[in-house]
């Protein structure tokens, strides 16, 4: 297990780690296995770095600490920079850290994740469509949808971050 250690504070000063509400994968193993298969299929053909950025951004919006932890570690292990991961939460003010294609994917991620107006705006979709061929765009939409499903499991069950090892879930 990987743990994050803060060397500037007394370890006893940290809040206690809370146990998950429910170990959903243990109690719904067929759903968990199906989610793994769906996740694997959704990211097929996508740039791995782009996929991790999308997963981190959706997880930030959804406040899924487990997924932020997991995908930040996977992104770092894949060679992504700390700076780009940190700036992702403020990507609109940090556009110069990302390519136009990445920005289109991040913007689409936000639109698909939030859906507060009940739809993905045409301008956002068209920008993504301009940067991705249709098969890749379909995969991107699938990857965004899948991470949102994972986030719902993680947030609802209050899955605990901090114990993930990069590459653990392939």
Alpha helices per DSSP H over the chain:
24-27, 29-43, 48-62, 65-77, 82-87, 100-114, 122-131, 134-156
155 within 8 A of 63, measured Cβ to Cβ: yes
Q: Of 148, 152, 166, give the one whose Cα is nearest residue 70.
A: 166
The per-residue pLDDT of the chain, averaged, comes to 93
CA separation for the pair 48, 92 (Å, rounded): 22
CA dihedral (127, 133, 138, 143) positive or negative = negative
What pLDDT is recorded for position 11?
64
What pLDDT is recorded for position 118?
82
Low-confidence residues of the chain: pLDDT under 70: 1-11, 170
**Burial category of 63 from C-beta neighbours within 10 Å (exposed 0-12, middle 13-18, buried 19 and up):** exposed
160 within 8 A of 66, measured Cβ to Cβ: yes
- Count other C-beta atoms under 10 Å from residue 38's C-beta: 16
What pLDDT is recorded for position 168?
75
Q: Of 19, 88, 18, 21, give the one whose Cα is nearest residue 53.
A: 88
What pLDDT is recorded for position 8?
58
What pLDDT is recorded for position 1?
39
* DSSP string across 153-167: HHHHTTPPPS---TT
């Amino acid at each position: 297990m990987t743990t994050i250690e803060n060397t500037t504070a007394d370890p006893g000063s940290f809040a206690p780690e809370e146990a998950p509400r429910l170990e959903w994968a243990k109690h719904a193993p067929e759903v968990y296995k199906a989610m793994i298969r769906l996740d694997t299929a959704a990211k097929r053909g996508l740039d791995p770095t782009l996929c991790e950025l999308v997963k981190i951004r959706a997880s930030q919006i959804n406040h899924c600490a487990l997924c932020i932890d997991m995908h930040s570690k996977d992104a770092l292990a894949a060679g992504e920079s700390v700076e780009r991961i940190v700036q992702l939460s403020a990507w609109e003010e940090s556009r110069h850290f990302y390519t136009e294609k990445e920005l289109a994917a991040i913007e689409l991620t936000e639109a698909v994740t939030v859906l507060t107006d009940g739809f993905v705006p045409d301008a956002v979709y068209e920008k993504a469509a301009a940067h991705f061929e249709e098969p890749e765009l379909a995969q991107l939409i699938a990857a965004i949808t899948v991470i949102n499903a994972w986030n719902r499991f993680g947030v609802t069950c209050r899955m605990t971050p901090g114990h993930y090892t990069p590459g653990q879930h392939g």
